[in-house]
Amino acid sequence: MQTPIHAIIDDCLPLIVAMAGGRYAVSLGGSRGKGVDDERSDLDFRLFCDTPVGGDACYQTAEWQRFVARVDYWRSQGVNIDYCWIRTVADIDGQLDAWLSGHGQSTEMVWTLWGYHVLTDIANQQVIVDADGLIARWHARLTPYPAVLKQAIIAKHRESLTYWQTDYHYRHKVLRGDVVFLAGMSARLVHDMLQVLFALNECYYVGDGNNLRYLATFAIKPADVEERITVALQMLHDPEHQYRLLQGLIADVLACVPAS
């Protein structure tokens, strides 16, 4: 019999709170935070606080080790907990300031394809405890979707799409059938298109997973875009066909952007 998620949360919560100093909030991120979890989803705990116990050495404290022991127990029971990411309130405030002024940058992380986007985490959380109103305050900053952020994201990724739309190096790689280059290029172009479409629809980019599931709900998008993206990413065996599909998609996505 599978243990209910709320029982696992109740078991882990005191151990997580014990690692917090000052104001704090605890949430679940990842697919559960986005509400798209399934039977394969793990538990991604988040702890936000003013100063974690142990400061910069918080992951070497006795409090952390007690939490890790509980994670190990639940894993032995078939429940995958991806530990707990401890973040400071000041760090989140600073990153939000940068993004919401149009100057945010994703952070390279080994566990994500396109970098860590703080807005992905903050906008998509299952709140467990927020007595100090930290997450509520951050959510308030993200509502409504800021126009300056929308413009910055579209400008950045439109520049990339426009460049590769006519680049002869890309065309030559197609003619040579350079599959390693084309695999990376097709993924990059799809990512750029997704970023534009997320911004146009004023939806915070959700990270590496479930992109097409979100795309299906968007009002502003090219016709049949989910199916076209899927086919294009599966066409490495036919570089010319893939190239034409992606060129058509780029043109149609750029056509969705209002004239400035």
- Give me the sheet containing 81-88, strands edge to edge: 81-88, 43-49, 24-28, 126-129
Q: What is the pLDDT of residues 6-55, one digit of tens each?
A: 999 999 999 999 999 999 999 999 989 888 888 888 999 999 999 999 99
Instruction: Kindly tell me if the per-residue pLDDT of 81 is higher than 90.
Output: yes
Instruction: Kindly tell me if the per-residue pLDDT of 244 is higher than 60.
Output: yes
pLDDT, position 36:
87
pLDDT, position 75:
96
What average pLDDT is seen over the chain? 96
The whole-number average pLDDT for the span 221-228 is 98
Instruction: Kindly tell me if the per-residue pLDDT of 195 is higher than 80.
Output: yes
The pTM is what?
0.93
The residue among 84, 101, 89, 96 whose CA lies nearest residue 48 is: 89
pLDDT, position 185:
98
Report helix, strand or coil for 67: helix
Q: How far apart are CA 164 and CA 191, in angstroms?
A: 13
Within 10 A of 35 (CB to CB), how many other CB atoms are there?
Answer: 9
Question: What is the CATH class of 5-141?
Answer: alpha beta
The whole-number average pLDDT for the span 182-186 is 97
The whole-number average pLDDT for the span 60-88 is 97
Instruction: Kindly tell me if the per-residue pLDDT of 5 is higher than 70.
Output: yes
| Amino acid found at 155 | A
Can you give the residue ranges of every domain in the chain? 5-141, 147-255
Strand partners, 85: 46
Strands (E), 40-131: 43-49, 81-88, 126-129
Instruction: Kindly tell me if the per-residue pLDDT of 1 is higher than 70.
Output: no
